[in-house]
Amino acid sequence: MKKKRNVVRMLLTVVCAFLIVLNAGAVKAEAKTDKKVAILYFSASGNTETVAKKIQKSTKGKIMQIKPSQPYTKADLVKRDKLSRTSIEHYSAPTPAQSKIRPAIKNLKQIRKTVKSAKVVYIGYPIWWGDAPHILYNLVEKIDLREKTVVLFCTSGHNKITKSAKGLKSCAVISDETKWLAGKNFKKSESQNKIDKWITSMGI
């Protein structure tokens, strides 16, 4: 009888130890992702994705790609072809903000859910024709950024973020409580250290 009790005690000890380890692992996994920070990015060639992942590494936020319902092909991105998809978007109006073209976002529902629970929202994109792609305008018109801290970032070899940031803000769903911080342009090769310093400098 005594042996049976000892066996039961040993089994209970093992089970308790297992549950403690399991719970610690769950807490650790949860700590790896800060649900209060969301990093949304659109990337057709991979440059913006590279920067977005470095921002995620620094902030531990939840990262989500902005996926067009109709993915962009290499042919779509050819500027010298006036019949290419991006050319048609560009020439549809003087600016993307004025255009009626709004490429559909495949995972908009999931993005809205992520943004709803976040306090800080990073939004990244490449610069096309000196401005943000039309799909970004669709994004800011369809997600609720009221009472959020919004940080834009873009990738471009020579264009500044100023023009696109102003255009996106003019179309975004924001409020007086929204903190729309000055964004930054990065190169694909931007170092992790430089991105870490940029994030730290904002104090968010």
What are the tens digits of pLDDT across the range 10-66?
A: 444 433 343 333 344 443 444 456 769 999 999 999 999 999 999 999 999 999 999
CA 76 to chain centre: 23
The predicted structure's pLDDT at residue 17: 42
Q: What is the pTM of this model?
A: 0.83
The predicted structure's pLDDT at residue 155: 96
Closest CA to 96 of 66, 149, 139: 139
The label of the residue with tokens 């729309």 reads: 180
Calculate helix-pair angle for 192-202, 47-59, nearest 10 degrees: 60
Class of residue 188 by CB neighbours under 10 A (exposed 0-12, middle 13-18, buried 19+): middle
The predicted structure's pLDDT at residue 148: 98
Strand partners, 64: 40
Can you list the residues of the chain whose pLDDT is less than 70? 1-33, 35
